[in-house]
Amino acid sequence: MEPTRILAIRHGETAWNVDTRLQGHLDIPLNDAGLRQAELLARALVEREVVNAIYASDLSRAHATAQAIAQSMDQAVSVHVGLRERHFGSFQGRTYAEVETEFPEHAWHWRKRTPDWTPPEGGESLLALRERIVRTVDELAARHTGQQIVMVAHGGVLDILYRAATRIDLQAPRTWSLTNTAVNRLLWTPAGLSLVGWGDTSHLDALGKDESSL
């Protein structure tokens, strides 16, 4: 079976990204910088890539980023809720500093990446997140063997994809970037994911050094 090539992309910047405020399942739109990032991403992809399908989280920051790509390629976006960001429960809407102050015991588990820890009030554990993301990618990629697809999602989703492709444990400290609209390349077969390339932000060069250092 031929592999499915995946361009896995984090959504463009939002105001809450700038504020280090946890978004989770809250539907926060792209800011002006994020819209510009999405435009530059779309321009680069239409010039460089052949894409057979475009998938996105249903949250507007991811869907709007995917829509910019789809419009440039005269395609449609297929929405899948399985590509949503991790649900952070009562952490959602709070800055990192507020989480540390208001939920010190829970914040410790968050920092240490305790796999089975669940954020209070309906949050999602890392184990549950990994299961959801891997299941979703398996479902979507299996439809497109021998083809290339785009998946636009979120930082937590991209983190899981990197770990799955490199066989890195959920608790291992992150040493890779999750830059807004960076292009990350993966291969999928029924045996799992493998990493081809990570963190391509060459399309953001037009923004200038200050704007592209997100």
Q: Which residues participate in catalysis according to the annotation? A: 11, 85
CA 130 from centre of chain: 13
Tell the burial category of 94 from Cβ atoms under 10 Å away from its Cβ (0-12, 13-18, 19+): middle
Largest distance between two CA atoms of the chain: 51
| Amino acid type, 195 | L
Contact 56, 76 (CB under 8 A): no
> Sheet containing 148-153: which strands, arranged edge to edge?
77-79, 53-56, 148-153, 4-10, 183-189, 192-200
Cα torsion 96, 197, 162, 72: sign: positive
Contact 78, 175 (CB under 8 A): no
Contact 33, 210 (CB under 8 A): no
